[in-house]
Amino acid sequence: MFIQTEATPNPATLKFLPGRPVLESGTLDMASREAAAQSPLAERLFDIPNVGGVFFGSDFISVTKADGEWQQIKPAVLGAIMEHYMSGAPLLAANAQPSESGGEEFFEAADAETVATIKDLLETRVRPAVAGDGGDITFKGYKEGVVFLHMKGACSGCPSSTATLRHGIQNLLRHFVPEVVEVRPV
């Protein structure tokens, strides 16, 4: 088994590509050891010193370090991923809930058409780009021209996430949806 690694815009996060599907649908963001109980692989990764977060996408695993250097952490992460796939163990525990869109959303019924356009733009133009960087962004809400987004995986805590939100996503949404005045993380 050959596992590729890619850097992400977030220096604390590396993207691991095992060369096979990871999640069939949705994403799974585990920012703590408690959340990792949803996956035997995530638990194994959290057993590695300095691992602070694990994120599963369709064909990748993003690992965020809490401290330390990647040159010490990366070999252990590669070993854990390889051991997991070679063991044949399931990726998810029976109670795991990958998120399709990100849970509870809020917006006024009168804004439903605007929200549908925003969600479509996020799905077709934004999410594929941020998945390439090892993360995900999901819609949380819309109120008085402000779009609220949830940043996950490599996007969460990334130094360039503010620029991504302000200059990338905000400009894109404003171009197609003039009612949008601002984009904020939740």
The CATH number of whichever domain residue 76 belongs to comes to 3.30.1370.70
Token pair for 3: 């596992």
The β-bridge partners of 53 are 64
Q: Could you identify the residue written with the tokens 């997991």?
A: 84
Q: Could you identify the residue written with the tokens 């969460």?
A: 156
DSSP string of 135-166? EEEEEEEEETTEEEEEEEETTTT-TTHHHIII
Pair (66, 135) in one structural domain: no
The β-bridge partners of 40 are none
Whether residue 21 is predicted with pLDDT greater than 80 in this model: the reply is: yes
- DSSP-derived letter for residue 22 is S
Pair (80, 125) in one structural domain: no
Is residue 160 situated within a structural domain? Answer: yes
Q: What is the pTM of this model?
A: 0.79
Q: Which of 43-57, 70-84, 106-120, 157-171 has the lowest mean pLDDT?
A: 157-171
